[in-house]
Amino acid sequence: MQQDPENADISDKLKALLRIAAKVQQDGKLVSTADIDHAKSKGASEKEIHDTVLIAAIFCMFNRYVDGLATIAPDDPEIYEKIGRQRSAEGYLTPPVPLND
């Protein structure tokens, strides 16, 4: 689905909402009245459309924030397991586990 939502086994409503989200990701001004009307014709409510735009915009903001801080995203899934175990045991007040152990 991530690679080709248009041909994924999902509802037409979700496809229409994902199209709107993709446009928001590029530039929110690309979302047209026709996109909104299409989503509504596939059963999307005003609230669902609003939430789609909001969530897509928030993720764009978060991604820019994280990128702007020059953060890293480890490739090794085990690192996330270690961090999760530590946060579960210690909360968020201790330094994170070293990434190169």
pLDDT tens for 20-52 read 999 999 999 999 999 999 999 999 999 999 999
Helix axes 46-68, 12-26, angle to 10 degrees: 40
Per-residue pLDDT tens over the stretch 53-82: 999 999 999 999 999 998 888 889 998 899
CA dihedral 62, 66, 72, 75 (to 10 degrees): 10
b/e sequence 20-33, b meaning 16+ C-beta within 10 Å = bbebbeeeeeebee
Contact assessment for residue 25 and residue 56, using Cβ atoms and an 8 Å cutoff: yes
pTM exceeding the 0.75 threshold for the entire prediction: no
